[in-house]
């Protein structure tokens, strides 16, 4: 029987074909692994996104502004209350201002009851829109705030701010003093606050959030 040997060219061709086949298999295997990895990564991303998107709420709270009292002296008292049309008769009597046989309903609250003068502070951030020197009320400062809120500070003996000033909550705007309207009260402050142009009882506004004032 005659043995036949393959030519070198044929052998090299077979080796080259096998090598090409092996490289092709490795290439497509690597390509498949990359595609599989992308799919898994996409699934992982989708899962994590859903985890954070489903019913998860931020725990970061938005700061809210609380209305301060217009003084920081703890000895200051209420001398005359806000006149409440729906209030009790005794409370209404204490809310009447008597000047030269004329009786007026108090649109704010009068604070005082101490011998020394005390600092008057802004209850909120705002802009000084008016400073007047009234013959009856003494020096009067008006401040406009956000949410259509306006505050007025009357019977001041000294004013430490200027018209047009932008001031921060708690800024000292002056000192309580005496007025010709209420001489018998000594050093005092008449404080008024309006929301949307309507007078509010100051005692119902303090320590509340600004957004709640419209519900008074």
Task: Supply angle C-alpha 65, 119, 193, rounded to 5.
Answer: 45
Torsion of Cα atoms, 168 then 170 then 112 then 138, to 10°: -20
H or E stretch including 19?
Answer: helix 8-53
181: Cα separation from own chain's centroid: 37
Q: What is the token pair recorded at 55? A: 């019913």
In the prediction, which pLDDT does 35 show?
Answer: 53
In the prediction, which pLDDT does 102 show?
Answer: 76
In the prediction, which pLDDT does 156 show?
Answer: 96
What residues of the chain score a pLDDT lower than 70?
Answer: 1-17, 22-24, 26-64, 99-100, 215-216
* Chain segment 121-176, per-residue pLDDT in tens: 999 999 999 999 998 899 999 999 999 999 999 999 999 999 999 999 999 999 99
In the prediction, which pLDDT does 26 show?
Answer: 66
CATH number 3.60.15.10 given to 77-215: no
In the prediction, which pLDDT does 175 show?
Answer: 97
In the prediction, which pLDDT does 183 show?
Answer: 82
């Amino acid at each position: 029987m005659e043995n036949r040997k393959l030519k070198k060219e044929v052998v090299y061709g077979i080796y080259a074909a096998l090598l090409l086949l092996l490289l092709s298999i490795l290439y497509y295997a690597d390509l498949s692994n990359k595609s599989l990895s992308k799919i898994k990564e996409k699934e992982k991303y989708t899962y994590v996104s859903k985890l954070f998107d489903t019913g998860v709420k931020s725990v970061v709270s938005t700061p809210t502004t609380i209305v301060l009292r217009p003084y920081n002296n703890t000895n200051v008292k209420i001398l005359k209350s806000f006149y409440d049309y729906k209030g009790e008769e005794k409370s209404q009597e204490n809310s009447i201002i008597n000047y030269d046989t004329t009786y007026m309903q108090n649109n704010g609250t009068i604070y005082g009851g101490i011998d020394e003068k005390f600092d008057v502070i802004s209850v909120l951030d705002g802009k000084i829109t008016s400073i007047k020197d009234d013959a009856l009320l003494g020096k009067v400062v008006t401040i406009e705030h956000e949410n259509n809120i306006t505050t007025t500070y009357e019977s001041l003996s000294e004013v430490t701010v200027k018209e047009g000033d932008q001031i921060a909550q708690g800024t000292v705007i002056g000192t309580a003093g005496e007025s010709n309207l209420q001489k018998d009260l000594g050093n005092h402050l008449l404080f008024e606050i309006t929301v949307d142009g309507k007078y509010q009882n100051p005692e119902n506004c303090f320590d509340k959030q600004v957004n709640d004032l419209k519900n008074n």
